[in-house]
Structure 1
Amino acid sequence: MSAVHTPGTPSARRGGPADPRARLLAAGLRRGRIELWQLLRDPQQLWGQLVANVVVLVGVVLWLPDGEIGDTGVSQSGLYVAGVVSFSVFQVGMLSLPQFLATEREDGTLLRLRGTPGGIPGYLVARVVVTAGLAVLNTVILLPLGALLADTPLPPTPMDWLTLVWVLALGLAATTLLGAAIGAVLPNPRGALALVALPVMGLMFVSGVFFPVGELPRPLQLVAEFFPLKWMAQGVRSALLPDGMLAAETSGSWQHGTTLAVLAAWTLAGALLAPRLLRRMTRRESGSRLAERRERASRRVA
């Protein structure tokens, strides 16, 4: 006697995974790939997410002063390359993601998805895909460009490549979760830019992106050590630059253990905060709140 397959059985769902969570993940991944492709075809987004970082790298390598850093035997341009690579990944999570979330809450995207089964979780998976895709693209573009412009070699050993991967991957996880938490509480897209950009730019200047952290006053060094960017930049330097650079590091070592601990701690903090804040954000969304925001926006335009 042959088995009868009802529409609810796995055998009837030949077009996709039977597990609802697997279907949700697959839908989120598919949505993320589509959104990433659409973003890369948008000239304004392409400039903001990729081309601007290339321009920054070319600008700092060609126009900022170059020369040996102390007695390290390492050129200043090598520091620029490591710094821009690490900052490009940092800003994808801490700047781009909050703006995306605030914009799509403002235009009603999240409200529409809330009424769709699995809509919000699938949306968040897609956002992670887009963020990770942008981080990978930035790294893949900037590393060879840095090697070409600044004579900064790619990681010379498999262990250096492994260091580069885990530092950037863990840094991306931390900043993506933190960026999602920040985006969930920002009032609007304009607030996202105004409230987040200034602190992020401040961290860029105290975290060893463009000059050694040891040249800063000790209080600023302590501020930098609290946040992920300093450790991301230091980890990338350890993968790209020779050990002579250790003479310019504040501790005289690469501190991989501390880097791992700090980035893991920020990842854990983001993992605890982001889901709660995102759930609160989606619960508070309603048609009346959306209409109120649109009315305020129309009054500003008028």
Structure 2
Amino acid sequence: MDRGRRRAGQPVARPVAGGLGAAPAVRRARAGAADHPAHLGGELPEPSEREGGGVNARTIRAGLRRGGVEYRQFLRSPKDVGVGLIGTVGIFLALAISQRGSDWPGTDTPKASIMAAGFVAFSVFSVAIMGLPMTIAADREEGALLRVRSLPGGTRAYTIGRVASALGQILTYVALMLAAALLFTETRLPETAGDWFTLVWVLVLGTLAVLPLGIALGSLMPGPRTAANLLSVPMMVLMIISGVMIPISVMPEPVQWVAQAFPLYWQGLGLRSALLPDTMLAAEIGQDWRTLETAAVLGAWAIAGMVLAPWLLRRVTRKESGSRLEARQRARAAQASY
């Protein structure tokens, strides 16, 4: 009998903290590889696609359960939380305190308040564009993607779990950043319902714009070290040119055009429109908050990412095999020996 296919009524392995049904998944993959001569290299078809499955309630529950476990592990890790506190909140506080009492020329807006809006946007951006790709690349390197593909709906549940965990981290860092800005700078929360609405929709749409991009980037990275090496410098460059620390209007025009091609600038602009007074418009491009353009650009990035990211992740997951995983592990061991 074909052991690579699930019998009718046979229970599906439940997701566990170490991966989606890690031990049963490995056994199932080995059994399937042995019984399918066409897949001797471990190239098994995706069970969810073979059975015509989709995103159902069980898949969503499994993904959310996995995401909840990973987020709790993140909160219990002093290293993970500390990196965010020092790397984002700490840098913001150091810069903000050094600029305390100084307004941006031509406005009555404190420089620290300008940076507060920018660093809130950067908190979202850094989790999605650095943290999420490194996590997915680590899962690929350790064989987690090979395990999840042996489960019906495993890839979809994995994606939901990773997104849920990243959302939890984003909420944590945004809350910490806003708390730091309110306590140590002259930043104030929105005063009108319209500004509150702007704050919420910019955060939501900005998150939707970058999370799929992070999944796509993670799908392309062979390992977490490679992801860190390739993504850290471009992310820092975008941080500098996108108005996180100083208004983009002081940049050369070609740099302004480059910055406006990416979602970080637009989310920062939207947050400034919610958190800062209109006198700050004197330092913005065109002296306008450009709300419609903000929604359009962030929406375009979100749609493009939602189309590209699932396709890339499925493609990479299909190509995962035991032989490829073993080859990567041998290469990693060889590098570590030098």
How does the TM-score come out when normalised to structure 1? 0.91
Measure how far apart 1:251 and its partner are: 1.3
Distance 2:100 2:240 in 1: 16
Match of 2:240 in 1: 205
**Partner residue in 1 for 2:179:** 144
Q: Is the 8 A contact 1:102 1:188 kept in 2?
A: yes
- 1:2-31: CA deviations, max 9, x gaps? xxxxx97xxxxxxxxxx9701110111111
Which one of the candidate residues 156, 166, 188 is aligned to 1:121? Answer: 156
Matched, 1:285 2:325: no
- How far does the alpha carbon of each residue in 1:109-144 deviate from its partner, in whole angstroms, 9 at most, with x for none? 111111122221111101110111111111112112
Contact 2:100 2:185 in 1 (8 A): no
2:231 aligned residue (185, 196, 204): 196
Q: Closer, same or farther in 2 for the Cα pair 1:71/1:20, shift >3 Å?
A: closer
* Most deviating of 191-200 and 215-224: 191-200
One-letter amino acid of the structure 1 residue matched with residue 155 of structure 2: I
Give the equivalent residue in structure 2 for 1:251.
286
> What is the percentage of aligned positions where both structures have the same residue?
43
Q: Provide the secondary structure at the position in 2 that maps to 1:226.
A: coil
Q: Does structure 1 retain, via aligned residues, the 8 Å contact 2:122–2:244? A: yes
Amino acid across the alignment from 1:100: T
Could you tell me how far apart the structure 1 residues matched to 2:306 and 2:190 are?
A: 30
Residue 4 of structure 1 is matched in structure 2 by none
Residue 297 (structure 2) aligns with: 262
Per-residue deviation at 1:51?
A: 4.7
Gaps of 5+ in 2: 1-7, 10-53
| Shift in Å, 1:80 | 1.1
> In structure 1, what is the Cα distance between the partners aligned to 2:236 and 2:183?
26
Corresponding residue for 1:3?
Answer: none
How far apart, in 2, do the equivalents of 1:27 and 1:137 lie?
Answer: 23
Contact preservation (8 Å) 2:242, 2:259: yes
Shift of 1:222: 0.4
For the 8 Å contact 1:49–1:92, the answer to whether it is kept is no
Q: How does 1:1-302 map to 2 (within 5 A)?
A: 21-64=56-99, 67-302=102-337
C-alpha contact 1:24 1:122 (8 A) present in aligned 2:
yes
- Name the SS of the counterpart of 1:155 in structure 2: coil
Cα shift at 1:49:
3.6
Q: CA deviation at 1:48?
A: 2.4
Letter in 2 for 1:299: A
Alignment partners' CA distance in 2, 1:186 and 1:292: 16
Contact 1:81 1:143 in 2 (8 A): yes
Counterpart CA distance in 2 for 1:260 and 1:105 is: 34
TM-score, with structure 2 as normaliser: 0.82
Q: Are the equivalent residues in 2 in contact too, given 1:225–1:231 (CA < 8 A)? A: yes
One-letter amino acid of the structure 2 residue matched with residue 99 of structure 1: M
Does structure 1 retain, via aligned residues, the 8 Å contact 2:55–2:156?
no
The C-alpha deviation readout for 1:68-112, integer Å capped at 9, x for no partner, is: 111211010111111111100111111111001000000011111
Aligned-residue CA RMSD (Å): 1.5
Q: Give CA deviations for 1:218-273 in whole Å, capped at 9, x if unaligned.
A: 00000011110000111111111000000110111100100000000111111111
Q: What one-letter code is carried by the residue in structure 1 that aligns with 2:296?
A: A
Deviation >6 Å, runs of 4+:
none
What SS does the corresponding residue of 1:262 show, helix, strand or coil? helix
CA distance in 2 between counterparts of 1:247 and 1:112 reads 54
Higher mean displacement: 286-295 or 52-61: 52-61
Kindly state the Cα deviation for residue 187 of structure 1 after the two structures are TM-superposed.
Answer: 2.2
Give the partner amino acid of 1:135.
I
Aligned residues: 286
Distance in structure 2 (CA, Å) of the matches to 1:165 and 1:20: 27
Deviation at residue 38 of structure 1 after TM alignment: 0.6
